[in-house]
Structure 1
Amino acid sequence: MKDLKGKVALITGGTKGIGYGVAEALLNQGLKVVITSRNKQSAEDVAKELAIKTNTSDAVIGVEADVRQLQSQEAAVKQAIDKFGKLDLVLANAGLGHFGSIEDITVEQWNDVIDTNLTGVFNSIKASVDELKKSKGYYITISSLAGTNFFAGGSAYNASKFGVTGFTQAVMLDLRQHGIKVSTIMPGSVSTHFNGNEPSEKGAWKIQIEDIGELVVDLLKMNPRTLPSKIEVRPTTPPSK
């Protein structure tokens, strides 16, 4: 996929944070991009914003889709095909977090995290695998360093991200003989609105969303014979504890 111009990407949770940063980077490389959100108006508004920002008319659309529902993801894939004729990349990015001791976290919070962060990745890949077989495309999932490093209060989030890491690696082995590449990116602290954070100059030490966008572009441009299947990235110089 070294020649990226005209390739088509579907990004779940693409209206903000890492998904937004990757969408912008891909548009600047000449890709066509479909971003999804549970909120239709938000998806459409951000798609228009990205088109203006990257000076790419008719190269990006926003669609309503809920990764927790397989049929919703299948509908998003269909809209991508109907609009752009093919699908080359799926970035399974949509995610959320609820944190607290196992004594305090609720069943509803547990289900929300697992259904979105883990089952959502399954649904995103399951809904699009036939199309990526045709294009010999690329799956990239967004896990986390929390997918290998557990912490107190992180039972639901750790479970979801440990799951994403393991699931993605197994899928990589399932699909490699079809010419499909599969990678998972495991970021540390990223400057986003995740978990109520407000990006600011105080977070300049963190990974920025454009850094993840650059990383995705680098993965896509890598020689097809080589696959970085699991990539850990972290801030170079975090604050001293």
Structure 2
Amino acid sequence: MFENKVAYITGGTKGIGFGTAKILLENGISVAFSGRKEEDVRNAENDLKKISENVLGIVSDVRKFEDEENAVKQIVDKFGRLDYIIANAGLGHFKPIDQMSVEEWNSMIETNLTGVFYTLKASVEELKKSEGYYITVASLAGANFFENGAGYNASKFGVVGFTQAAMIDLRKYNIKSTVIMPGSVATNFNDHVPNDKDSWKIQPEDMGNLILDLLKTNPRVLPSKIEFRASQPK
């Protein structure tokens, strides 16, 4: 069912994005992914090519609309189409609001929230052509506020609301939209180094399999918002 299908994953050099790229490639989907650093993109691209040659690494900063426009152009030039968007790029700074800098606030809003808009804005005409699927990776922090999380909460609450509203705007074009809200994931987020103690957490490949299941779902139904958590949290 995935013959000739093409996905674009932002923040794809590690963590959820990289794990999802592996799952999609293993299931016959061509994958383009992006990251901000050339070295990280090339290293990830080389690793993913061990699975399939149908992969394209792109240097793009989702905070820059022209970067995302260029990314979509590269994808269409190489693969001829674009079917699936996984807007995954994100970062977090966790401080009391009185200690958070303007730069830290802006970096979260620009990456986590404005970035998902830029990615969709750059790709929406291609998604109309393919009657594709737009998936955003938010967080349980998009529904549950917590101490030291004001900036991160604001960005992820925004992603949830944005995706839900975009879903209504886009379904008239037969474009599906889903926001996924994961809990604890074993990734490098916030400078964490994944280790054996993370075995209870959601693994990046678990997110990839969830996304694959969404892409397999009958087009007549739409799981528009998904909370995804570890079954046995520590």
Give the TM interval when normalised to the shorter protein: over 0.9
Residue 31 (str. 1) matches residue 57 (str. 2): no
Task: Give, as a single letter, the amino acid of the residue that structure 1 aligns with 2:24.
Answer: L
Shift of 1:14: 0.2
| 2:10 aligned partner | 12
Q: TM-score, normalised by structure 1?
A: 0.96
Unaligned runs of 5+ in 2: none
In the aligned structure 1, how far is the partner of 2:78 from the partner of 2:228? Answer: 34
Shift of 1:216: 0.4
Instruction: Tell me if the contact between 1:191 and 1:208 (Cα under 8 Å) persists in the aligned partners.
Output: yes
| 1:175 aligned partner | 170
**Alignment map for 1:70-149 (pairs within 5 Å):** 70-149=65-144
Instruction: Tell me if the contact between 1:77 and 1:127 (Cα under 8 Å) persists in the aligned partners.
Output: yes
What value does the CA root-mean-square deviation take over the aligned residues? 0.6
Task: Give, as a single letter, the amino acid of the residue that structure 1 aligns with 2:16.
Answer: I
Instruction: Tell me if the contact between 1:44 and 1:61 (Cα under 8 Å) persists in the aligned partners.
Output: no
How far does the alpha carbon of each residue in 1:57-102 deviate from its partner, in whole angstroms, 9 at most, with x for none? 2x00101101001111000000000000000001000000011001
Task: Give, as a single letter, the amino acid of the residue that structure 2 aligns with 1:50.
Answer: L
Residue 157 (str. 1) matches residue 152 (str. 2): yes
Instruction: Tell me if the contact between 1:138 and 1:181 (Cα under 8 Å) persists in the aligned partners.
Output: yes
How far does the alpha carbon of each residue in 1:108-158 deviate from its partner, in whole angstroms, 9 at most, with x for none? 000000000000000000000000000000000000000000001001100
Q: What is the aligned counterpart of 2:193 among 177, 191, 198? A: 198
How far does the alpha carbon of each residue in 1:222-241 deviate from its partner, in whole angstroms, 9 at most, with x for none? 000010000001000012xx
Alignment coverage as a number of residue pairs: 234
Instruction: Tell me if the contact between 1:143 and 1:165 (Cα under 8 Å) persists in the aligned partners.
Output: yes
Shift of 1:5: 2.6
In the aligned structure 1, how far is the partner of 2:187 from the partner of 2:216? Answer: 26
Residue 46 (str. 1) matches residue 35 (str. 2): no
In the aligned structure 2, how far is the partner of 1:44 from the partner of 1:125? Answer: 24
In the aligned structure 2, how far is the partner of 1:6 from the partner of 1:21? Answer: 21
SS class of match (1:127): helix
Shift of 1:41: 2.5
Shift of 1:51: 1.1
In the aligned structure 2, how far is the partner of 1:203 from the partner of 1:34? Answer: 28
In the aligned structure 2, how far is the partner of 1:22 from the partner of 1:131? Answer: 21
Task: Give, as a single letter, the amino acid of the residue that structure 2 aligns with 1:36.
Answer: S
Q: TM-score, normalised by structure 2?
A: 0.99
| 1:214 aligned partner | 209
